[in-house]
A = this chain, B = another copy of it.
Amino acid sequence: MRNKKKAVVLLSGGLDSATALYLARKQGYQTNCLIFDYNQRHQKEVNAARKIARVLNCKFQALKIAFPWKGSALLDSKLTMPSGGRLLANKIPSTYVPARNLIFLSFALAYAETIGAGAIFIGAHTQDYSGYPDCRPEFFRAFDKVASLGTKAGAGNKKIRIKAPLLNKTKAEIVRLAVGLKVPFELTWSCYRGGKTPCGKCDSCCYRAKGFQEAGIEDRFDDR
């Protein structure tokens, strides 16, 4: 039987998905995390995701998926990582990975259907979709439809719902929410470069810094 209060959470190890996880927990969901290792440059986020899942004692699946096609600065170290420039640029950045969220959501759907979960949480939000097409509200609405039509659950009128609770929030709002939910944000990893400490220069670091600054909260980093 499908359990409305059982969810799969796409956990990347960053602040947004960790906040989505804590929010799902607060809403009473039994949370099952799904983590992807796709040879991203910032593979460090996979370990961060594991740590966060363990803090909440969540079940989790870490999937290694082949992504043999280059062309994204997140996958190919030969490509230049953009440095905070797109904060104003409003165009698709070179860190775009073709069909990534679609692949992640599709696996999450398989996981949810198999364990009888009624919801999938994803931490995508407003600043993402200024750049990534697969973070737009209309993309999630379209995915909701495809998920409903393409699964046994959906065909049997037991739809698995896609939840993107941060979609309309700014990074500063997410930071405040995370603090309120007691998200251990010192364990999260946002930097697109996989260095020892966050680079402070890539888009992801810039967004994060701006969010904490606007929220008036000091960021912490704990590389345990």
A interface residue numbers (CB < 8 A to B): 61, 63-71, 92, 96-103, 106-107, 109-111, 113-115, 133-134, 136, 138-139, 142-143, 145-147, 149-152, 154-155
- Cα distance A125–B101 when bound, in Å? 27
Minimum distance in angstroms from A75 CB to a CB of chain B: 10
4 smallest beta-carbon distances between A and B, as pairs: A69-B114, A98-B113, A99-B110, A134-B150
B114 touches A71 (CB 8 A): yes
Which of B142, B147, B149, B154 is within 8 Å of A150, CB to CB? B142
Distance in angstroms between the alpha carbons of A155 and B92 in the assembled complex: 9
Question: Which residues in B have their C-beta under 8 angstroms from that of A71?
Answer: 114
**A98-B113, A99-B109 known, 8 other contacts, Cβ within 8 Å:** A64-B66, A69-B111, A69-B114, A92-B152, A106-B106, A133-B155, A139-B150, A143-B146
Tell me which of A61, A67, A69, A115 has the highest count of chain B C-beta atoms within 10 A of its own C-beta: A69
Contact residue among B61, B99, B103, B152 (Cβ-Cβ distance under 8 Å from A98): B152
Contact across chains for A154 and B142 when beta carbons are under 8 A apart: no
Q: Which residue of B lies closest to A148 (CB)?
A: B142
